């Protein structure tokens, strides 16, 4: 490590930065942001300022990157995750030592669980404070002391916590290798599509480093999967083609990891168009394929599939399973029922053809090989699927004027081509697989980690990404009342950053999912009632120090239109008003009143299979 300068004092808030390289050198903070600005689709940075990252943040303004300040670090982490999911690139999060990074750790864990590319940059104390034998004995603020009060505190106690939720973590201390270290972290995040960490000491931001990599190795292609021509790609590709040519009833199954890698969705859709092979998506893979393609069958979720979907897929003799994410929720509680010999698993880390496992072969390269070498004349001609596909339970009555069955049906019709739908963890999510999405609808949800409250700030990140890319598509957020209360602060980001989503807040008086699992009438599943229709009045101030209420004239043109929807007629009118572009320049917020025990059929169906204890509500719904 290079000699540690005496930098125990905080970096001044006013710094001098270069805007062009002199002798190929630049301050490290400026280099870092210029490097990130080169990465595909990175135009905004999320986070919360703190005293250990302020010196770094000042360098942000030497670039065109936009700072998106979150109300707290957890929300900013969810927003960065949403930005990554929409762009399929980096979502960048910046927090401060201890109190900030720990607040965000749940969001990063969710990103890790679902293969989302989040770069978490943490400002930490100076190198002198971290490494000097005298200085590191001091108890800095934000640090938790050791259990034994006579022992030195561990200044790296937080960095040790991220090992299980990151694919790489580096503490940058050496100016001579800083630029190379940054590139290694970014490349590793793209390679694994998992979060990575950069821990930056306070005094590193102003260190002068060699910045020539900005020119000699620009980061514009860091997101691309390297095209490999190694023998294993050809070997595996030929084995797959052989099985495909010998198949009488082949099928494609698309899962979420297809979306996480560059060109994944495009390559798979092209394979479908080229072959017309019957295709399906998983619970987490929803919207990857064109669901109006003649060969699309439905969403395969094992026993939680609609009638005919499970039977059709499992009758196939060759199932190419693209981008598998094998977990409890995605597999219908491990009710996938096809044999090893039936299946070919194409994963970013391996390919498995029947019982043969090939490590280190990337699915993207194999998909490219298949497209380049497939002989469609040798593939069995498509025939109609043998089993009719239909909803399992088309309608479940409710004690409220609006049932979730009706809501789901109307919502499917409400969607338009190109819509972006962000759905919260909750009962409504389990009705989404019954939809047939219109062309290019993009569905974003945390279908495995299931951290309630994620969707609201995630949709902020999605909205910022859409704005960065000039998208004219509609952003639709489906949120729950209990979930919203977890991260409600970030609602203020919508008007602040000029975002105008269409929000359906489903008010079912608490934690409905939990009520169905256990405790239908227990107080632990209750939440505090809110007057949701008034929530946007919180943002009707002018932002001045005096905090004056905006003028009555301005209030008439406020940024939000909100209403309570408590009947089918009101729901129809609300959706019609949106589709007719009434108040199209404003955020639309609809509070939809539902019964506290109303769920889509799929959730009760899980209970029926004893995947959860069967409740009275579940029994009655399936009677």
Q: Cα–Cα distance between 348 and 345 in angstroms, integer?
A: 10
Q: Cα–Cα distance between 566 and 533 in angstroms, integer?
A: 13
Matching residue, tokens 């002018």:
542
CA-based nearest residue to 441, from 455, 422, 460: 422
Q: Cα–Cα distance between 321 and 285 in angstroms, integer?
A: 11
Q: Cα–Cα distance between 262 and 225 in angstroms, integer?
A: 7
Answer yes or no: are the C-beta atoms of 277 and 321 closer than 8 Å.
no
- The dihedral of CA 47, 51, 57, 58: what is its sign? positive
Answer yes or no: are the C-beta atoms of 466 and 437 closer than 8 Å.
no
Q: What CA–CA distances, in Å, run from 556 to 491, 559, 577?
A: 20, 9, 18
Binding residues: 481, 508, 510
Strand 208-210 to 25-27 pairing = antiparallel
Answer yes or no: are the C-beta atoms of 559 and 589 closer than 8 Å.
no
Q: What are phi and psi of 76, to 5 degrees?
A: -65, -35
Q: Cα–Cα distance between 489 and 484 in angstroms, integer?
A: 9
Binding residues for Mg(2+): 481, 508, 510
Q: Cα–Cα distance between 501 and 420 in angstroms, integer?
A: 10
The two structure tokens encoding residue 214 = 């900005």
The two structure tokens encoding residue 250 = 């082949």
Q: Cα–Cα distance between 54 and 52 in angstroms, integer?
A: 6
Q: What is the 3-state secondary structure (H, E, C) of 410-431?
A: HHHHHCCCCCEEEECCCHHHHH
CA-based nearest residue to 98, from 123, 74, 75, 126: 123
> Would you call 574 exposed, middle or buried from its count of C-beta atoms within 10 A (0-12, 13-18, 19+)?
buried
Q: Cα–Cα distance between 85 and 115 in angstroms, integer?
A: 9
Compute how many other C-beta atoms are within 10 angstroms of the C-beta atom of residue 224. 13
Q: Cα–Cα distance between 275 and 256 in angstroms, integer?
A: 21
> Would you call 328 exposed, middle or buried from its count of C-beta atoms within 10 A (0-12, 13-18, 19+)?
exposed
Element (H, E) at 445: strand 442-445
Q: What CA–CA distances, in Å, run from 482 to 295, 528, 530?
A: 39, 9, 10
Residues sharing a CB contact under 8 Å with residue 396, sequence separation 6 or more, in sequence order: 403, 404, 405, 598, 599, 600, 601, 604, 621
> Would you call 600 exposed, middle or buried from its count of C-beta atoms within 10 A (0-12, 13-18, 19+)?
buried
């Amino acid at each position: 490590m290079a000699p540690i300068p005496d930098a125990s004092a905080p970096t001044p808030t006013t710094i001098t930065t270069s805007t062009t390289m002199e002798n190929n050198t630049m301050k490290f903070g400026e280099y870092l942001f210029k490097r990130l600005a080169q990465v595909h689709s990175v135009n905004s940075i999320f986070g919360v300022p703190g005293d250990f990252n302020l010196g770094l943040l000042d360098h942000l303004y030497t670039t065109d990157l936009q700072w998106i300040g979150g109300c707290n670090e957890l929300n900013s982490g969810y927003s960065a995750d949403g930005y990554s999911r929409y762009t399929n690139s980096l979502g960048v999060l910046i927090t401060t030592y201890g109190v900030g990074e720990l607040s965000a750790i749940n969001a990063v864990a969710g990103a890790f669980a679902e293969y989302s590319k989040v770069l978490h940059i943490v400002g930490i104390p100076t190198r002198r404070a971290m490494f000097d034998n005298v200085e590191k004995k001091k108890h800095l603020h934000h640090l938790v002391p050791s259990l034994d009060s006579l022992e030195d505190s561990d200044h790296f106690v937080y960095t040790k916590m991220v090992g299980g939720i990151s694919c790489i973590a580096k503490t940058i201390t050496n100016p001579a290798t800083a630029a190379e270290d940054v590139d290694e972290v970014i490349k590793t995040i793209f390679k694994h599509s998992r979060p990575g960490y950069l821990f930056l000491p306070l005094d590193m931001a102003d260190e002068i480093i060699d910045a020539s990599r900005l020119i000699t190795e620009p980061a514009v292609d860091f997101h691309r999967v390297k095209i490999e021509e190694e023998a294993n790609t050809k070997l595996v590709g030929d084995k797959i083609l052989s099985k495909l040519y010998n198949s009488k009833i082949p099928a494609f199954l698309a899962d979420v990891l297809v979306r996480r890698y560059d060109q994944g969705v495009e390559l798979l859709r092209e394979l479908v168009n080229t072959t017309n092979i019957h295709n399906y998506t998983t619970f987490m893979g929803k919207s990857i394929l064109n669901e109006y393609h003649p060969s699309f069958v439905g969403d395969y979720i094992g026993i939680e599939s609609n009638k005919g979907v499970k039977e059709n897929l499992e009758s196939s003799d060759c199932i190419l399973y693209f981008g598998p994410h094998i977990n409890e929720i995605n597999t219908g509680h491990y009710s996938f029922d096809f044999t090893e010999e039936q299946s070919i698993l194409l994963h970013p880390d391996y390919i498995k053809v029947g019982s043969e496992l090939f490590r280190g072969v990337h699915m993207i390269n194999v998909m490219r090989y298949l497209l380049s070498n497939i002989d469609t004349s040798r593939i069995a001609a498509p025939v109609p699927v043998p089993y009719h596909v239909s909803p399992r339970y088309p309608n479940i009555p409710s004690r409220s004027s609006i049932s979730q069955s009706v809501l789901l049906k109307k919502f499917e019709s409400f969607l338009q081509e190109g819509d972006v739908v962000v759905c919260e963890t909750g009962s409504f999510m389990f009705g989404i697989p019954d939809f047939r999405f219109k062309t290019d609808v993009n569905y974003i949800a945390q279908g495995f980690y299931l951290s309630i409250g994620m969707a609201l700030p995630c949709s902020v990140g999605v909205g910022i990404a859409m704005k960065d890319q000039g998208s004219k598509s509609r952003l639709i957020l489906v949120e729950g009342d209990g979930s919203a209360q977890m991260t409600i602060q970030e609602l203020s980001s919508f008007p602040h950053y000029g975002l105008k989503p269409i929000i359906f807040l489903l008010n079912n008086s608490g934690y409905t999912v939990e009520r169905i699992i256990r405790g239908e009438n227990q107080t632990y599943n209750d939440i505090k009632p809110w007057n949701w229709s008034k929530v946007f009045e919180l943002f009707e101030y002018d932002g001045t120090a005096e905090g004056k209420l905006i003028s009555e004239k301005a209030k008439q043109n406020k940024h939000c239109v909100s209403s309570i929807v408590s009947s089918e007629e009101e729901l129809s009118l609300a959706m019609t008003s949106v589709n007719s572009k009434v108040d199209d320049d404003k955020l639309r917020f609809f509070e939809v009143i539902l019964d506290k025990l109303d769920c889509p059929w799929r959730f009760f169906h899980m209970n029926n299979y004893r995947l959860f204890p069967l409740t009275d509500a579940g029994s009655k719904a399936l009677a």
